[in-house]
Amino acid sequence: MTKQAKKRLSRQERYDTLIDATYRCVAQNGLEGTTIRDIAEFAGVTFGLIRHYFRNKDELIEATYTTITADMTKHARVAAEQAGPDPADKLFAFVKASLSDPFVSPHYLAFWSNFVGKVLFDLRMRDLHEQGFWRYRQVLTDLVTQTLEQAEKPLDEVALSLMVVKVNAVIDGLWIEACLGVDELKGPELAQAGIDAVAAVLGVSLPAQRD
């Protein structure tokens, strides 16, 4: 009887493992409390292996922040793309995905909250935040624009920009509340609350309200 060989992870799988371990360590221990050795132990790899992928802790932290931000944006964007051609359906799907698993959790909020101060005062982190935030905001802007045009309520550039800020604030606020568990709002009820609030802000009807 031969001993089954342990699967050898690809370079991308190793990279993903390190990103996930960093995310979990930062969420649990904070930025200052997280060390490269902590990450290596959590990922089940050697300290030396991490150096093959990242030069230092800062580079690993930046890569993790960028990856998490991109994943959250992709989750909502793909949901909108799969919702069909109707703009209201797309916006509905985008809001619902933004307020649904797997990203509505205390761990994601704990991870994200570690970067609030750094985004304000660290120029490198501010650049990374703006790049990731811009992608999410651009998708949301397109969906809001199309939905308002469909409802025959188009806005000029300045008014549209303010409207997108309001919609994004609604989504962010509900996301934080849900992650904290303050009102025990979760699952379909959370998504519906977001959809109702966004519809009210825009003054339009979204699919969940018509059903």
Domains 9-54 and 65-210 share a fold: no
Residue 210 has pLDDT above 60, yes or no: no
| Structural tokens at position 153 | 């309520």
* Helices first, then strands: H and E counts in the chain: 11, 0
Instruction: Pick 140 or 120 by higher pLDDT.
Output: 140
Q: What are the tens digits of pLDDT across the range 60-71?
A: 999 999 999 999
Domain 9-54, CATH class in plain words: mainly alpha
pTM above 0.85, yes or no: yes
pLDDT for res 37 = 92
The CATH topology of domain 65-210 is Tetracycline Repressor; domain 2 (1.10.357)
Query: What are the extents of the domains in the chain?
Result: 9-54, 65-210
pLDDT for res 151 = 97
| Segment holding 124, helix H or strand E | helix 123-150
Looking at residues 101-129, what average pLDDT do you find?
Answer: 92
Q: What are the tens digits of pLDDT across the range 35-62?
A: 999 999 999 999 888 988 999 999 999 9
Residue 209: pLDDT band with limits 50, 70, 90? very low
pLDDT for res 2 = 38
> Are 181 and 106 a contacting pair, CB within 8 Å?
yes
Question: Average model confidence (pLDDT) for the chain?
Answer: 91
**Residues contacting 27, CB < 8 A, separation 6+:** 107, 108, 110, 111, 114
Q: If you search the block for the tokens 């909250």, which residue do you land on?
A: 113
How many Cα atoms occupy the beta-carbon half-sphere of 10 within 13 Å? 3
